[in-house]
Copies of this chain bind each other. A is one copy, B any other.
Amino acid sequence: MPPDTRERLLHAAIGLFARKGYASTSVADILDAAGVNAGSLYHFFPGKQDVLLAVLETYRQGIDPMLLQPAWDGVADPIERVFALLGHYREYLRRTECTYGCPIGSIALELHEPDPPVRALLAANFDGWISAIEGCFIEAGDRLPASVDRRALAIFALTTMEGGVMLSRTDRTLDAFDAAVRMLRDYVDRLQASGSSRGTPVTLSPPGP
Chain A interface (Cβ within 8 Å of chain B)? 19-21, 23-24, 100, 105-106, 108-112, 119, 122-123, 126, 148-149, 151-153, 155-156, 158-164, 166-167, 169-172, 176, 179-180, 182-184, 186-187, 190-191, 194
Quick check: A119 and B20 within 8 Å, CB to CB? no
Chain copies in complex = 2
B167 touches A112 (CB 8 A): no
Residue from A19, A109, A123 having most chain B Cβ neighbours under 10 A: A109
CA distance A111 to B106 in the complex (A): 9
Verify B151–A21 contact, CB threshold 8 A. no
Assess whether B160 is in contact with A156, with CB atoms less than 8 Å apart: yes
Q: In the complex, given contacts A109-B110, A148-B186, A159-B162, what are 11 additional A-B residue pairs having Cβ atoms less than 8 angstroms apart?
A: A20-B112, A21-B110, A23-B23, A108-B169, A110-B110, A123-B170, A155-B167, A156-B183, A159-B160, A159-B167, A160-B163
Contact, CB under 8 Å: A162 / B162: yes
C-alpha spacing A108/B162, complex, angstroms: 12
CB distance from A85 to the nearest CB of B (A): 15
Q: Is the CB of B163 within 8 A of A176?
A: no
The smallest beta-carbon distance between A175 and chain B, in angstroms, is 8
A172 CB contacts on chain B under 8 angstroms: 119
- In angstroms, Cα B169 to Cα A105, docked, is 11
Contacts of A110 in B (CB 8 A): 21, 106, 109-110
A167, A172, A184, A194 pick with most chain B CB within 10 angstroms: A167
Q: What B residues does A111 contact at CB under 8 A?
A: 169-170
Ordered nearest first, which 7 A-B pairs have the shortest CB separation? A159-B163, A156-B183, A152-B179, A163-B163, A162-B163, A159-B180, A187-B187
Residue of B nearest to A152 (CB): B179
**A154, chain B: closest CB distance, angstroms:** 9
Shortest A189–chain B CB gap in Å is 11
| Contact residues in B for A152 (Cβ distance below 8 Å) | 179-180, 182-183
